[in-house]
């Protein structure tokens, strides 16, 4: 499987990354190099194998429905690049 410029541009949009033209070339080469190595996995027959998400089976961890203290507003806003009163401010977003 080979990655094309179109693939790289599509993936960059999904990842919200803006790549300059020169960067795209490098990215195509790097991705292909890694994907080439990853082809190795095709050597293994995994037809009847279950997937493993957590490294070992863990089940039924829950939290009870009890209210805990929230963060003070000042802490929420302190790290925000731009705020307006109690809100975090971002440039106007077109209704999606």
Partner 1 sequence: MEFETVIGLEVHAELSTNTKIYCGCTTEYGGKPNTHVCPVCLGLPGSLPMLNKKVVDYGIKAGLALNCRITKLSRMDRKNYFYPDCPKNYQITQDEFPLSRDGYIDIEISEGVIKRIGIERIHIEEDAGKLLHTNSGTLVDFNRAGVPLIEIVSKPDLSSPEEATLYLQKLKSILSSIEVSDCKMEEGSLRCDGNISIKPKGETKLGIRSEIKNMNSFKALEKALGYEFIRQEEVLNSGGKLSTETRRWDESTLKTYIMRSKEQANDYRYFPEGDQVTINISDEWIEAIRSTIPELTHEKLARFIKEFDISSYDAMVLTLSAPLADFFEATAKISMDAKSSANWLMGDISKLMNEALITAASLKFTPEDLSALIKLINSGTISNNIGKKILNEMFLTGKSPGKIVEEEGLTQNNDEGEILSAVIEAIKASSTSVEDYKNGKTRVVGFLVGLVMKATKGKSNPQMVNKLILQELNKL
Partner 2 sequence: MELHKHKAHELKDMISKREIKVQEVITSFQARIDKVETDIGAILYNDFEKAIEKAKKLDLSLEKGENIGILSGLPIGLKDNISVEGMQNTCASKILEGYISTYDANVTEKIKSSGGIIMGKLNMDEFAMGSSNENSAFKPCRNPWDLTRVPGGSSGGPAAAVASCEVPLSLGTETGGSVRQPAALCGVVGLKPTYGRVSRYGVVAFGSTLDQVGTLGKDVEDCALITSAIAGLDKRDFTTVDIPVQDYKKSLTKDLSGKRIGIPKEFFGEGLNEDIRKKVEEAIKVLKANGAIIKECSLPLADYSLAAYYIISSAEASSNLARFDGIRYGYRATDYKDGIDLYYKSRSQGFGNEVKRRIMLGTYALSAGYYDAYYKKALKVRKLIKDDFQRVFKDFDALISPTSPSTAFKFGEKKDDVLAMYLSDIYTVPVNIAGIPAISVPCGFVDNLPVGLQIIGNYFKEDILFNIAYSYEQSENWHNTMPSMVPCLSIKVGE
Cα–Cα dist 60/66, whole Å: 18
The token pair at 22 is 């020169």
Task: Rule CB under 8 A: say whether 65 interacts with partner 2.
Answer: no
Instruction: Say if residues 31 and 56 touch (Cβ distance below 8 Å).
Output: no
* Placement of tokens 């971002």 in the chain: 90
Number of residues that bind partner 1 (CB under 8 A): 39
Q: Does 94 bind partner 2 (CB under 8 A)?
A: yes
The length of the chain, given as a count of residues: 96
Which segment (17-25, 26-34, 37-45, 76-84) binds partner 1 by CB under 8 A?
A: 76-84
- For 72-93, b/e burial (b = at least 16 CB within 10 A) is eeeeebeeeeeeeeeeeeeeee
Nearer to partner 1, 29 or 35 (CB): 35
Q: Is 34 in the site for partner 2 (CB under 8 A)?
A: yes
Residue 71 sits in the site that holds partner 1 (CB under 8 A): yes
Identify what 24 binds: partner 2, partner 1, none; CB under 5 to 8 Å per kind: none
Residues forming contacts to partner 1 in the complex (CB under 8 A) are 10, 13-14, 16, 51, 53-54, 57-71, 73, 76-77, 82, 84-96
């Amino acid at each position: 499987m080979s990655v094309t410029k179109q693939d790289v541009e599509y993936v960059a949009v999904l990842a919200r990354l803006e790549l300059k033209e020169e960067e795209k070339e490098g990215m195509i080469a790097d991705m292909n190099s890694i994907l080439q190595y990853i082809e190795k996995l095709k050597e293994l027959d995994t037809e009847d194998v279950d997937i493993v998400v957590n490294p070992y089976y863990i089940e039924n961890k829950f939290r009870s429905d009890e209210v805990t203290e929230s963060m003070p507003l000042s802490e929420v806003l302190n790290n925000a690049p731009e705020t307006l009163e109690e809100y975090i401010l971002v440039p106007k977003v077109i209704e999606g």
